[in-house]
Amino acid sequence: MLKEFKQFILRGNVLDLAVAVIIGAAFGKIVSSLVADVLMPPIGRLAGKLDFSSIVIPLSKPEGVDLTKLTLKAATDMGLPVIKLGLFLNNVIDFVIVAFVIFLVIKLVNRMQRKKEEPPAVPTTRECPFCVSTVSLKAVKCPNCTSELPANTPK
């Protein structure tokens, strides 16, 4: 059983999948950082100095708290249950970017595979116009009906 497991692990597909998962996780972290640290701050600045990651919807209204100025940190410090809308928005943008990059990679791989396909094979036979049997391109007489074949009539 150990031998079978070793053979399974050392198969090319399993190793390729493991590498893909590791690279995908690293890529996900890069995209998350891109969204949270590079894209969202300028968008928040354009939207009126808004920090998207701190946008929350409180599920209860505590006394003496101005809900219009409630941030994620303040809600967490008070122990308030909140819907973390800003973090959800960041994750949606992360997903869209990752999905788009995967789409581009798959499109590129498909294009490369189409280029690798071999051209169609050159025909080596043709049909006899008299008995409709298959004969060699070099034949001058049909071996089946013994008719004279016209020169170079490809199939």
Per-residue pLDDT of the chain (155 residues; tens, 9 = 90+): 888 877 777 776 777 788 888 988 888 889 888 888 888 888 888 888 777 778 888 888 878 777 777 788 888 888 888 899 888 988 888 888 888 888 898 898 888 877 766 777 888 889 988 888 899 888 888 888 888 888 764 44
DSSP sequence for 68-123: GG--HHHHHHHT--EE-HHHHHHHHHHHHHHHHHHHHHHHHHHHHHHHHSPPPPPP
CA–CA gap between residue 137 and residue 79 (Å, rounded) = 86
Residue 1 lies in a domain: no
DSSP 8-state code for residue 39: I
Q: Judge whether 55 and 118 are in contact, CB under 8 Å.
A: no
| Amino acid 151: pLDDT | 78
Question: pLDDT tens, 89-130?
Answer: 888 888 888 888 888 988 988 888 777 667 778 888 899 888
Please tell me the pTM assigned to this model.
0.56
Q: Judge whether 28 and 94 are in contact, CB under 8 Å.
A: yes
| Amino acid 154: pLDDT | 46
Q: Are 81 and 135 within one domain?
A: no
| Amino acid 77: pLDDT | 86
Q: Are 35 and 101 within one domain?
A: yes
Q: Are 60 and 130 within one domain?
A: no
Q: Are 89 and 132 within one domain?
A: no
Contacts of 44 (CB under 8 A, 6+ apart): 50, 51, 52
Its domain, for residue 53, covers 11-117
Residue 2 lies in a domain: no
- Largest Cα separation within the chain, whole Å, is 107
Please count the structural domains in the chain.
2
| Amino acid 12: pLDDT | 65
